[in-house]
Structure 1
């Protein structure tokens, strides 16, 4: 029955119908009949198709995705496995996922986490993203990232509270923000997110997997293990 999965993937992906039938040795009526008899093959085919599509989306962007804004990284900076997270400080699911990511870092000494600021929820989250990149310039990114998610919401006051707790030089950070030093990075993150069709946060990318939402440490951990073995 493996040929049915291949045929379905070919059809959904828009390959020439004749080529699919040549490969399978059967016609469309036989495919339909076998799917009616054993419909469990369709979910498997769709899962494989989605995996192919994700890999094709990621491939041309991989080098850029895996290259962090200098300092906007935690875990093992030289790690052999990279987890990319698109995050918004105004996102409750990102806040919920912070413990999962930190647990994965603790459990995987070869894991490098690249955070891509993706402030799509509010103007205040964009201000927090700018402060995060200013913190990265000062080697205080992880401290700010954790402190910001510990705040009660995202406001001018909570952003400055988090920056102060993280040991950020606020005068230096404000000067960099006012000079527009982080706008290109934020625009590029939006471009990457839109190219990957990321409609929400958090979004995690590791290996050839894209996972959107608070999917939990177990699912991300499985994707990390799969990327490590590939």
Structure 2
């Protein structure tokens, strides 16, 4: 569904566009088209606004055209900002020592997933990751913990980070078990999974107190904010951000595009 633009934003954009195009005073006003500097001479603000209003009432479809143009510009600006962020923070996004990796650690094609253990869509999307890494040995998933769904999520992810620091080679299995578990992920359920994989409880609880874990999350929040990521799952593929659990086919096409043209969208 399209977002509705504010009246002031639409009016300001239209006022500029209409005078530049000559549409306002050259259509329906009885005044011949003249240079822009002359056309507005002698008109008060109220008169100009009346002309704009009358024009819009007579040609309401232009509102949709302006809305589409503004949204397209916003998308372009967002994409440019995302590319700048990905280039500037590439190591933190693709190669952070604090992130788990699933699939071939040396895989040629990387998908970075921002996830929350209590995200229902992330649970469904896990199957995409498992199937893709099984089918394509050149694919690696970077698992970027992004707890945004409340205190339970935050505490569960603290356990996840502590486990990743202590037993990074087992983190992939930890991720699968906790993400696939029934019910809500909590500190207790995350610790239970960690212990089932051989973690020492005393060491794990001590690692959970490390203030560096908060630093890791804060850096992830900072990157996500710059990328426009506000929900999970979201992915970074090449220099593109992909929002939502769009399914294996979409992600595989992104990988195929990387192979074909070096970009997620050719």
The TM-score normalised by the length of structure 2 is 0.65
Q: Is the Cα contact below 8 Å between 1:209 and 1:223 reproduced in 2?
A: no
**Equivalent residue for 1:102?**
130
Aligned equivalents of 1:115, 1:60: Cα separation in 2: 18
Larger radius of gyration: 2
Aligned equivalents of 1:55, 1:109: Cα separation in 2: 31
> Out of 162, 165, 187, which is 2:218 matched to?
187
> Out of 237, 253, 257, which is 1:206 matched to?
237
Aligned equivalents of 1:28, 1:61: Cα separation in 2: 42
Q: Is the Cα contact below 8 Å between 1:80 and 1:112 reproduced in 2?
A: yes
Question: Relative to 1, partners in 2 of residues 1:52 and 1:219: Cα closer, same or farther, differing over 3 Å?
Answer: farther
SS in 2 for 1:89: coil
Q: Which has the higher contact order (CA 8 A, sep 6+)?
A: 1
* 2:170 is aligned with 1:144: no
CA RMSD of aligned residues (A): 2.9
Question: Relative to 1, partners in 2 of residues 1:179 and 1:208: Cα closer, same or farther, differing over 3 Å?
Answer: closer
**Equivalent residue for 1:88?**
116
Alignment deviations for residues 26-48 of structure 1 (CA, whole Å, 9 cap, x no partner)? x798xxxxxx9xxxxxx9xx889
Aligned equivalents of 2:171, 2:77: Cα separation in 1: 34
Aligned equivalents of 1:84, 1:28: Cα separation in 2: 49
1:158-197 map, 5 Å = 158-197=189-228
Count of paired positions: 198
SS in 2 for 1:188: helix
Q: Is the Cα contact below 8 Å between 2:115 and 2:122 reproduced in 1?
A: yes
**Equivalent residue for 2:163?**
135
Alignment deviations for residues 174-218 of structure 1 (CA, whole Å, 9 cap, x no partner)? 101113231111110011111111111010110132222211111
The 10-residue stretch of structure 1 (209-218 or 59-68) with the greater mean CA deviation from structure 2? 59-68
Q: Which consecutive residues of structure 1, in runs of 5 or more, have no partner in the other structure?
A: 1-13, 18-26, 30-35, 37-42
Question: Relative to 1, partners in 2 of residues 1:55 and 1:171: Cα closer, same or farther, differing over 3 Å?
Answer: farther
The TM-score normalised by the length of structure 1 is 0.75
Aligned equivalents of 1:154, 1:177: Cα separation in 2: 16
Question: Relative to 1, partners in 2 of residues 1:66 and 1:47: Cα closer, same or farther, differing over 3 Å?
Answer: farther
Aligned equivalents of 1:55, 1:83: Cα separation in 2: 19
Question: Relative to 1, partners in 2 of residues 1:51 and 1:99: Cα closer, same or farther, differing over 3 Å?
Answer: farther
After TM superposition, give the deviation of residue 50 of structure 1 in Å: 4.0
Question: Relative to 1, partners in 2 of residues 1:161 and 1:197: Cα closer, same or farther, differing over 3 Å?
Answer: same
